Amino acid sequence: MKRTLLAACAALLTLVAPASHAALRAVACEPEWGALLRELGGDRVAVYVATTALQDPHHIQARPSLIASVRRAGLVVCTGAELEVGWLPILLRQAGNPAVQPGQPGYFEAADAVRMLEVPTRLDRADGDVHPGGNPHIQTDPRNIAAVAGALAARLARVDPANAAFYQARAADFARRWQAAITRWEAAAAPLRGLAVVVHHKAFPYLEDWLGLVEVAQLEPKPGVEPSSGHLAEVLQGLKQHPAKLVLRTPYNDARASEWLAQRAGLVAVMLPNTVGGDDRASDLFGLFDDTIDRLLKAVAQ
């Protein structure tokens, strides 16, 4: 945990450090978009990342430092799909920066660039923290990162036209390296196809869709509701009919529930980095997926 915390802090400090000569100031709501902005923007974009991998992006406090950063920004990049609905509107309202309000070129939602999964057919608070636009944890599929990169490069060129050619050149280079990495990751992960998993929170549907994992249960009785002893007992009983190999969680999920289930059901509990800074190796987008695939393969081999 200590190493993970240090990795997250190091990643945050790296991402926060502004380039004094940068042409554009950008605020990223989550670490993955901060890392992507650095890939596309290089030294022309000063990036401030609002959250770390150890924070649940559903629940962030609108601190004065965040408000000040949004006030100075020329571009705000967030996941969208109401992932940040509990805090981002407060930031935008209190910052009072007209250039980065929804609908303006300086406001970008990554979810608009990808195919959303788990779009609910009904909305009822009794079902827990369900997002009307679909599951917002899109960053766990590298194909989504590629789609967002193309859209974000175009947005950078729009809000900073003087550097448009620079952003497009970096986007083309990133796309080439990223596609090669996807091919490598998919080849390495081929043995994982069809693997049955339990998840703490529904944070991995895009990873499951990409790798062909099969989710058989969730530790949360409803999205956003922490596991109860009664629900964990039900999950344990259900695994007798639908067995699984792994139980997955993010760095910000409490490990006790997954470890409890792993001990009783003979599963392997796996913490996946989930975003940049989630572990020592996940120091950038490439490291994020290198580490994710390695952790899954090592867990299956146990």
| Amino acid residing at 166 | F
Residue 129: the pLDDT is: 74
CATH code of the domain covering residue 161 = 3.40.50.1980
Residues in the chain: 302
Do 204 and 140 form a contact (C-beta atoms < 8 A)? yes
- pTM greater than 0.85: yes
End of a domain among 140, 156, 185? 185
- Residue 150 CA, chain-centre distance (Å), reads 17
Long-range Cβ contacts of 258-265 (<8 Å, 24+ apart): 258/198, 258/200, 258/219, 260/232, 261/198, 261/219, 261/232, 261/235, 261/236, 264/236, 265/236, 265/239
3-state secondary structure of 222: coil
Q: Would 213 be classed as within a structural domain?
A: yes
Residue 95: the pLDDT is: 97
Q: Are residues 216 and 74 in the same domain?
A: no
| Amino acid residing at 185 | W
Residue 126: the pLDDT is: 67
End of a domain among 158, 185, 212? 185
End of a domain among 140, 155, 185? 185
Q: Are residues 249 and 104 in the same domain?
A: no
Do 50 and 29 form a contact (C-beta atoms < 8 A)? yes
Q: Are residues 35 and 176 in the same domain?
A: yes
In this predicted model, what pLDDT tens digit does every residue of 115-148 receive, in sequence order?
999 998 777 766 667 778 899 999 999 999 999 9
Do 214 and 194 form a contact (C-beta atoms < 8 A)? yes
Q: Are residues 197 and 177 in the same domain?
A: no
Token reading at 69: 């950063």
Q: Are residues 277 and 164 in the same domain?
A: no
C-alpha span between 210 and 70 (Å, rounded): 34
Query: How many domains in the chain?
Result: 2
Q: Are residues 47 and 171 in the same domain?
A: yes
SS (H, E, C) 131-155: CCCCCCCHHHCHHHHHHHHHHHHHH
Q: Would 255 be classed as within a structural domain?
A: yes
Q: Are residues 180 and 251 in the same domain?
A: no
128 or 183, higher pLDDT: 183
The C-alpha angle with vertex 11 and arms to 71 and 28, in degrees rounded to 5, equals 30
What domain range is 65 assigned to? Answer: 24-120+127-185
Residues 6+ apart with CB under 8 A from 96: 71
Buried b (16+ CB within 10 A) or exposed e, 164-174: eebbeebbeeb
Do 251 and 274 form a contact (C-beta atoms < 8 A)? yes
DSSP code of 33?
A: H
Q: Would 4 be classed as within a structural domain?
A: no
In this predicted model, what pLDDT tens digit does every residue of 243-300 receive, in sequence order?
999 999 999 999 999 999 999 999 999 999 999 999 999 999 999 999 999 999 999 9
